[in-house]
Amino acid sequence: MTNFEGTFTNFKNEKLDEFYSAIGIPWVARKMMTASSPTIEISKKDEKWTVKTSTLMSSTSNSFQLGEEYEETMMGGRSIKNTTVIEDNKMITSSQSDRGKSQRVMEFDDNGFIMTMTHEKTELVAVRHFKRV
């Protein structure tokens, strides 16, 4: 079984600035977000998952149960509605906000995960690579 729990650091991004621009993130915030290398901590207690994202500037934490809608507060204060499921070695989060629908697929292996982010309206895809600490 795939081990989703752990601490992971970002080491590479592809088309991240373009993705953030397409979903309407302002230039200054976008530049700050793309310049940071976040650490993501994933844990599970009973049926509740927690994903904590930390950068030098800020930290956010979201807890949820698989298959149930929950609200996530993004860095910068915006809220989006999410539903997260697990399929094989993937943690898939489908999101809905005032900026449209998007999806984050975190595909895990023994070394970490690759996060593929897709924005439905623009069809833009960004990829973030994380290694297990």
Span 52-105, pLDDT tens digits: 999 887 888 999 999 999 999 776 677 899 999 999 999 999 999 888 899 999
- The reported pLDDT for the residue numbered 109 is 96
Mean pLDDT computed over every residue of the chain: 92
By percentage, how much of the chain surpasses pLDDT 90? 70
Q: Could you tell me the pTM of the whole model? A: 0.93
Distances (CA, A) of 47 to 40, 44, 50, 65, 68: 19, 7, 10, 6, 11
Residue found under tokens 């809905």: 96
Q: Which CATH superfamily is domain 6-128 in?
A: Calycin beta-barrel core domain (2.40.128.20)
If one counts every other C-beta atom within 10 angstroms of the C-beta of residue 84, the result is 22
More confident residue, 87 or 29: 87
